[in-house]
Every structure is written in C-alpha cells, then in structure tokens.
Amino acid sequence: MKTVISTDRGAAVELLRKGEVVALPTETVYGLAADALNAIAVAKIFEAKERPRFDPLIIHLPHRDWLEKVVDLPLRDRQLILKLAEKSWPGPFTMVLPKRKIVPDIVTAGLDTVAVRISAHPVFAKIVCELDQSLAAPSANRFGHVSPTTAQHVLDELDGRIPLIIDAGPTQHGIESTIVVVRDGKIEILRRGPVTAEQLSEFAEIDVAAMRPKISAPGQLPSHYAPKTPLRLIDHAESFSPEKSQRVGLLAWHSLSRQRALRNVRRRTGDHRSLKFTAVRQLSEKKDLREAAANLFRFLRELDRSDVDLIVAERVPSHGLGAAILDRLERASHGKSVAPDTLE
C-alpha cells in the first residue's frame, strides 16, 4: 500500500465512508481515524498501530447532539457532565461515560464505558461533520511510540500501512487530550493534558488517578509515548555526567544554552573534543509551558534520530500544563529517573 500525504479533505471523507483508516490532524496530535461504529474499520486502526486490543479508543463526535447517541448519561452526574461539555467542547478534553450498545466492543476493549470528545481542529471538524459520523481516532503512530505532531511524523511511523494522511501543518497543543471520568459529583483525571486540574477545579472536586493495573482509558499504561532511545528524567543537566564514551542527548528545560551545553567536555576522558551532550533541544527558552508542550514530541523524535545512546530530560514544573508534560516524560522513561545520589 502506498501512503499519500495530501490536503484533500474530500478524499479523506470518501475513504472513511468506505471503512478505511485515514490520518487526520487534531488540535492535540495527529490521529488515525476510522468510523467508530464500524467494527471492521476500527480493527484496521489496531492493525496499523500494532495496538493491543485491551487498550480502548477515544470516539470523536461531530457535534454535541451526538453525545447521547453513543453514551448513556448517568442521571446523578448529568448536569455536571453537560456543563463540562459546554465549557470544554470543542477542545482537548475527553470524558469517559457509560456507553450505549451502538458502540462496538472493539472500541472500548470490552468495557462498559467509552471515551468521547469533540475536536477543535478546523480540518478534523469539517471532515467529521461532513461524514456526520463519529470517528475513533487514537494517535497516528505505532503503539507506545512518540505521538506525531506533523504529517511527516505520521509517514515515518505508518508509511505503507495506511492509504492517506491529511496534512494541516504542526498541531497546536502537542500533547494528547485530558481524560476524565465524572462520578458522584467529582471529576477524576485519568490522563493529564491541556485542560488542567486547576481549570477543572472550578466545576467540582478533583481527584487524580494513580497508575492502575486495570486500563479504563487511553494512555494509562505505565510505559508509553517512548522513543526508541532509552530516556531518563533528571533534575538539572548541570549535575549530570555521562558514562565514558556515552553519547547523550538533552531535552532541556532550564536556561542551559545550546553553545554552553555542547562545549561542556567530559572530564573523565580527558578528551576536550568530546561533548557532554551530543544534541540539545530546549523545550522553551521563555519557560512557556504551552510552547514546551507543543515542542515535546517533535523534540523527542529529533533527539531519537540524533544517533545518541541515551536521552536525558530535565523535569519541568509540576503545576498546570507542566503536570501533563511530566506525565508523558515519566511514561516515556518508564520510571528510569536518575536518583539524586547518582548525580554529580
């Protein structure tokens, strides 16, 4: 199969109506879309991504009138759910709700709940509204890999596996949607994202879900969003020393200039030509968490391609959007943080 990058929305609509999969831009990352109510079409998503069937998908709705076609709103929390939908949709916000029988089990991994949202991306919105059909659309990458924020990233991951990628330039937010479940008047955050706990606290009491063996929403696996190169979290690059002859890439948050980082030599080798960091990417020189989130997956991909043995990432502040960035980095490292006593 030849994969084509195009801006032809009509071609995307035609393929989706035929039960094919198409990569589409959303405001968060690029998604791999198929008719959510067509179990065979949805199966093609799992096949292309090599995604395990126990990991549920998000359904993207054309508009809010579709909500009660696919979910059964619980009476007790109905008003809070509708208030959140009115405030946060369209946008990078997903709610996990009791599903109706119309939703195939393959979408929900056999669970009795389904994750739903409405995308704010103008291209995605036009396509899904023209179809007037809900779309399952997880990130358009191979399972567990770094999520794609450009059409080229999708091609790098899925070339030959899908027929079409709709190119609309880089995505806005750069990290996946916030996922919540509303239960007994409280909002439980299952996955952090662009809509922060601080923003949601205006509506109800907030609880942040810990890692659970049972998967109830996308993006809850302990190891996820990972580059091929091993990644470790550190507090500060100034205190990190690579092993002998180790090539290390740095994903920087603190004000460590590229020139300064590249000139920092490995004292242990005595070789002043060797570099402490082979490649450096600064998430945001302005310390802007929104800019950092938008750059996160792109810079991880660039460092992954820079022929390094290890990527180290400095921790960002844990408040607001920083909590979502840290969540992605922690899952990418799968707990491989450098303990303070190993730093120099």
Residues 244, 151, single domain; the answer is no
**So what's the pLDDT on residue 218?**
63
- Which of 147, 173, 208 terminates a domain? The answer is 208
Residues 89, 182, single domain; the answer is yes
Residues 38, 140, single domain; the answer is yes
Residues 113, 204, single domain; the answer is yes
Beta bridge partners of 33: 22
Number of domains the chain is built from: 2
**CB contact at 8 A, 218 and 117:** no
Cis peptide before 98 (omega within 30 of 0): no
**So what's the pLDDT on residue 1?**
87
Residue 118 included in any domain: yes
CB neighbourhood size of 18 (10 A)? 11
**What is the domain-level CATH number for residue 264?**
3.40.50.11030
Q: Could you tell me which of 139, 147, 150, 90 has the C-alpha nearest to residue 116?
A: 90
Q: Could you tell me which of 147, 149, 84, 94 has the C-alpha nearest to residue 118?
A: 94
**So what's the pLDDT on residue 270?**
45
**CB contact at 8 A, 17 and 11:** no
Residues 191, 237, single domain; the answer is no
Residue 165 burial class via C-beta count within 10 angstroms: exposed 0-12, middle 13-18, buried 19 and up: buried
- Which of 173, 208, 243 terminates a domain? The answer is 208
Residues 239, 134, single domain; the answer is no
Residues 144, 269, single domain; the answer is no
Beta bridge partners of 226: 145
Residues 246, 199, single domain; the answer is no
**Segments of the chain assigned E as strands:** 4-6, 22-25, 30-35, 58-60, 93-98, 113-117, 135-136, 164-166, 178-183, 186-191, 205-208, 231-234, 248-252, 279-282, 310-314
Residue 225 included in any domain: no
- Which of 142, 177, 208 terminates a domain? The answer is 208
Residue 224 included in any domain: no
Residues 90, 236, single domain; the answer is no
Element (H, E) at 138: none
Residue 294 included in any domain: yes
Q: Please, what is the angle between helix 321-333 and helix 289-304, to 10°?
A: 20
Cα 312 from chain centre: 19
Residue 254 included in any domain: yes
Residues 121, 182, single domain; the answer is yes
**So what's the pLDDT on residue 260?**
54
Residue type, 177: S
Residue 68 included in any domain: yes
Residues 126, 266, single domain; the answer is no
**Segments of 140-218 assigned E as strands:** 164-166, 178-183, 186-191, 205-208
Count the alpha carbons within 13 Å of 337 in the hemisphere toward its beta carbon.
Answer: 14
**So what's the pLDDT on residue 39?**
96
**So what's the pLDDT on residue 267?**
43
Residue 223 included in any domain: no
Boundaries of domain holding 321: 231-342
Please list the pLDDT of the chain residue by residue as tens digits (344 residues): 899 999 999 999 999 999 999 999 999 999 999 999 999 999 999 999 999 888 899 999 999 999 999 999 999 999 999 999 999 999 999 999 999 999 999 999 999 999 999 999 999 999 999 999 999 999 999 988 999 999 999 999 999 999 999 999 999 999 999 999 999 999 999 999 999 999 999 999 998 865 444 555 665 555 567 789 999 999 999 889 898 889 999 999 997 654 455 455 444 444 444 468 999 999 999 999 999 999 999 999 999 999 999 999 999 999 999 999 999 999 888 745 443 332 22
**What is the domain-level CATH number for residue 174?**
3.90.870.10
Residue 156 included in any domain: yes
Cα 148 from chain centre: 8
Residues 142, 89, single domain; the answer is yes
Sheet holding 279-282, edge to edge: 231-234, 310-314, 248-252, 279-282
